[in-house]
Structure formats: structure tokens, C-alpha cells
Amino acid sequence: MKNQRLFILSGLLPALLLVLVFTYYPFFKGIMMAFQEYKLFDLRNVHYIGLDNFKAAFKDPKFLMALKNSGYWVFCSLILQFMFGLILALLMKKQFRGRGIYQGFAFYSWALSGFLIGMIWKWMFNSQIGVINDLLLKFGIIHERIGFLSDPKWAMVSNIVANVWYGVAFFAIMLLAALQSVPSELYEAAEMDGATGWRKLMNVTLPYIMPTIIATTLLRAIWIFNDPAIIYGLTNGGPAGSTHILSSLMLDKIIYGGDYGAASAIGIIMMVILLLYTIFFLAVTKAEKVGDF
């Protein structure tokens, strides 16, 4: 018994200690910074300033833009990734010749870094020598080149296109796994009741994989919201700050501004948004259990 306690302790200690010291401690330290004047290049002048960083954020048009963009970015990316991913998973559910190879090519984007993906799409979206403009012109879809990255009207759309390209694979993987776990007896029973393709999908398949759908959309939205890598590689917030989301703006404040106070304030606002989102999402989907996920 005593041995067992020792085993539990020694098994958990390295993991717990490292996570506490290098994740939670700096995290709470960062939260404190949001209430401080804290600039990397002026460390002698660090002091508490109450809510000033938050007030400054809400007065900053760049921040308000990023707030709006974040909503747009998460909503469009999530819906499109989910939709294309679900269709893909449904079509791939039945074994077909070469499915394994197909899967490899269809899902590889998952192994690339968001930054590189942003970079590659930056090359393809280029207004002069970009291949996307060239293809659209060739097929007669457009008649003059579009400044995908220089025109604020298009820049955010371009980011979302790259992000959808990146994230479809994630949903396809998770949903495919869930689809394959649907017991075949359920389909047999439905068939005996005379259900056909569409009805089987709506009455058997979707309800069965609903927990996976809820969990993946919940988590994925948080990741999309938190991860600025694609935007960093593709437009890095430009032109003129029009494509920043909250996380990329926060990164910008750290890397280029060294303004940790302002960055942390944005981080806290992000946390509040995430918390509200999660509570709302769980209430709507009535899936308290997903908290255990």
C-alpha cells in the first residue's frame, strides 16, 4: 500500500512539477503583467497601473478590428472546415481501392506548420506572379488580377482560405474515426424499419457521432482562436493591421513592441471570451460531459 503511494507519487511528480513551474507559474505571472506597465525595453519602469492596459486596448482601433476579425476568422474557418471535413469523412467511410494512399495525400497538411502554410499561400496569392490569380484568369473566373493580400477586402478571406485548407483534415480524421465506430447493428435495425440513405444519416449516423462533433468543434474553435501561425506567415496582420486577430495582435505586441503589459491584457480578454464561449457552447449543446473530454 505504501509502495503504491510511492509509485503514484514518483510517476506523477516529474510531469506535475514541470507543468506547474513552466506552464502555470508563467501563466499566472502573465496575468499579473496585464495590470502592470511592463515594457521589455524599459524594465526599470515596471509598476502596477490597474486597468489602464485594458482601457487602452478598447480605445485602440487595431484591437477592435482584431476583435471583429477573430469572430469572423473562427466562425468562417470552423463552419467550412467542419462541412468539408464531414462530407469527406462520409465519402471515405466505405472502403474503396486506394483509400489508404488517398488518406495519406488528403491529410498531410496536418503535418505542416501553420507558418509554412501561410508562407506557401503567400507565394500562391501573390498579385503579380501568384498562381491563383493566373488560374482564375485562365478559367475566365476573373478578368483582372486581384490583390489578395494587399486589398483589405480580400486579405482576411485569403487567410481563411489557407486556414480551411489546413484544417479540413483534422475534422475528416476525427469524424472518420467516429463514423467507423458506429455499430453496424444500428444500420441493420434502421434498414429493417425501411430507412434509406438520407434517413439513416439523419437518424442513426449523425446522432451517434454527435459527441465527437460537439467535442471537435468546441476544441477546434479554441485552437483556431488561439493560433496565429497562418496569419503570421501569410499577411502578418497587414495590410495596415486589417488582418490581425487577437492572438496575432498579441504576438505582434510581444515580438515587435516588447509591450508585455498590453499583450497580457489582450490575453486576458481572450480568456474571458473563451470562457464565455465554452459555457455558452456547453449550455446550448447540453453536453456537460464534454468537460471530461
Q: Per rule CB under 8 A, is residue 19 in the interface with other proteins?
A: yes
Size of interface with other proteins, in residues (CB under 8 A)? 83
Q: How far is the CB of 38 from other proteins (least distance, A)?
A: 7
Shorter beta-carbon distance to other proteins: residue 23 or 64: 23
Strand 36-37 relative to strand 47-48, pairing: antiparallel
Q: Per rule CB under 8 A, is residue 151 in the interface with other proteins?
A: no
Shorter beta-carbon distance to other proteins: residue 58 or 223: 223
CA pair distance 42, 36, nearest whole angstrom: 12
Taking CB under 8 A as the criterion, the residue among 45, 47, 50, 111 binding other proteins is: 111
Taking CB under 8 A as the criterion, the residue among 121, 148, 154, 171 binding other proteins is: 121
Shorter beta-carbon distance to other proteins: residue 39 or 60: 39
User: Of 60-68, 115-123, 202-210, 237-245, which part binds other proteins (CB under 8 A)?
Assistant: 115-123
Cα atoms in the Cβ-side hemisphere of radius 13 Å centred on 217 = 21
Site string for other proteins, 90-109 (x = CB under 8 A): -xx---------xxxxxxxx
Q: Per rule CB under 8 A, is residue 75 in the interface with other proteins?
A: no
Taking CB under 8 A as the criterion, the residue among 83, 131, 210, 276 binding other proteins is: 131
Q: Per rule CB under 8 A, is residue 124 in the interface with other proteins?
A: yes
Q: Per rule CB under 8 A, is residue 26 in the interface with other proteins?
A: yes
Taking CB under 8 A as the criterion, the residue among 30, 152, 238, 239 binding other proteins is: 30
Residue with cell 511528480: 13
Taking CB under 8 A as the criterion, the residue among 67, 178, 230, 245 binding other proteins is: 178
Q: Per rule CB under 8 A, is residue 256 in the interface with other proteins?
A: no
Shorter beta-carbon distance to other proteins: residue 228 or 241: 228
CA pair distance 225, 235, nearest whole angstrom: 17
Site string for other proteins, 192-231 (x = CB under 8 A): -----x--------------x--x---x--x---x--x--
CA pair distance 125, 283, nearest whole angstrom: 40
Taking CB under 8 A as the criterion, the residue among 72, 151, 152, 165 binding other proteins is: 165
Shorter beta-carbon distance to other proteins: residue 106 or 190: 106
Q: Per rule CB under 8 A, is residue 3 in the interface with other proteins?
A: yes
CA pair distance 104, 190, nearest whole angstrom: 33
Taking CB under 8 A as the criterion, the residue among 57, 67, 160, 174 binding other proteins is: 174
